[in-house]
Amino acid sequence: MKLIQIDPTNADSLAEIESAAFVIALDGTQTLETPVTKSKHLWHAGDGGKFSNNRFVDKPAQFICWTDQSSNTARGGLMGEHSAMDGTPIVRFCEFILENIEKFLHRLEEPVDQSIANARTDISMPLHLPFNESGLEASINEARDEVAKLSANGLSTDAWTQMIIQLAYSRLVAIEGSENVPAATYEAATMRSFINGRYECIRSTTSDSATFVDAMNNTEKTNADRKDALKTAVNTHVHNTKQVSSGHSVDRNLFDLQKSLYPSEQVPELLIDELFNKSSTWTISTSQISTKGFETYGWGEVAPHGFGVAYSIFENCLQFTVTNTVMYGTTKDKNGKGKKRNDTFVALFDEAAKDMLILFKPAQRQAKL
């Protein structure tokens, strides 16, 4: 390594970094106003990668901190390397940090507390914006009732969300004129109840999810048909999730067997089967982490033509982060079509979610589908 050859001291410095549990990168003052700009700053090391020299990516956890220019307050995020860690423990780690910062703020001694107050005197006070909310109470209560209906009907919110993804993708490929074949969809299931357990794969695409998608896109179907198909698909997903989480799955086992083969060994026919490989090419890679400590989170697509879909389920909303490569297209035509494709897919998430919610509203809304 040239850095070590230049000066032996570099080897000592590098050893310090590599032996650390995590890295903290300080990026100074930044103007990052939206979740997208913040995510790109964390993931891409700023606009054009200008902070690349202030990163050490070969580390399971890297905390990236900056001062928000508009509010003069501290901000931060995390960039992780998945092979060495999983989402659940790192989320708990972050929540622990935030909880202790909150406790610390309540225990500040008066002189320090006064210094903070003095430092804020030159910051403009927030402006109160008056709103006339008369008449909104009924709409708010109606929205709460709709959320309650999901639980009242015994529908898992995670499975519901997975069906949103399936429906949105079916409409994307229809717009693109591609073959309307359900995409292999990976959802992570934790296996931490087992010794050395990490993650397994829940296959979100099933015959029942395909039947549901077809019902939603078929104008000859009634809302009752669609609702029945949705309930069946959701129940199947819940059943599969329980099976996977209790150790009754095959994906990681087959993957390990595939990777354990020596170059000289003959590959079993199963592992070179066209259907096996197509169904294991994760066009849609999904997972759920729901924590109020993250404004947003996500990862890149697994397949070149696919999407990474991170989502969070909160009391009054679903939040999605959808990623894919900008350079989407054929080998001869990789011209940045991915941005438009992403925008279309995101819009279809909203459409799919609303169409599914209509199923639990009065029959007069049927015509909207």
Residue 295 binned pLDDT confidence (cut-offs 50, 70, 90): confident
**Domain ranges (residues) in the chain:** 2-85, 156-368
**Alpha-carbon gap, residue 122 to 296, rounded angstroms:** 30
115-142 pLDDT, tens digit per residue, is 666 655 555 554 443 434 455 566 656 6
303-319 pLDDT, tens digit per residue, is 988 999 999 998 888 99
| Residue-level pLDDT at 20 | 85
* Residue 275 clears pLDDT 50, i.e. is over it: yes
Could you give the residue numbers annotated as active site? 82
7-56 pLDDT, tens digit per residue, is 777 788 888 888 888 888 999 988 888 888 888 888 888 877 888 888 88
Q: 271: closest CA among 260, 255, 285? A: 255
**Total residues found in the chain within this entry:** 369
Q: Which residue type does 57 have?
A: V
**Alpha-carbon gap, residue 149 to 152, rounded angstroms:** 5
The pTM of this model reads 0.76
Comparing 335 with 352, the larger pLDDT belongs to: 352
Q: What is the CATH number of domain 156-368?
A: 3.30.559.10
322's tokens = 């959808």
* Residue 369 clears pLDDT 50, i.e. is over it: no
Question: 165 Cβ partners below 8 Å, 6+ apart?
Answer: 185, 204, 284, 286, 309, 349
**Alpha-carbon gap, residue 201 to 208, rounded angstroms:** 18
**Alpha-carbon gap, residue 297 to 58, rounded angstroms:** 19
Maximum mean pLDDT: which of 76-80, 99-103, 217-221, 364-368: 217-221
Determine the 3-state secondary structure of 42 from DSSP.
helix
Residue 152 binned pLDDT confidence (cut-offs 50, 70, 90): very low
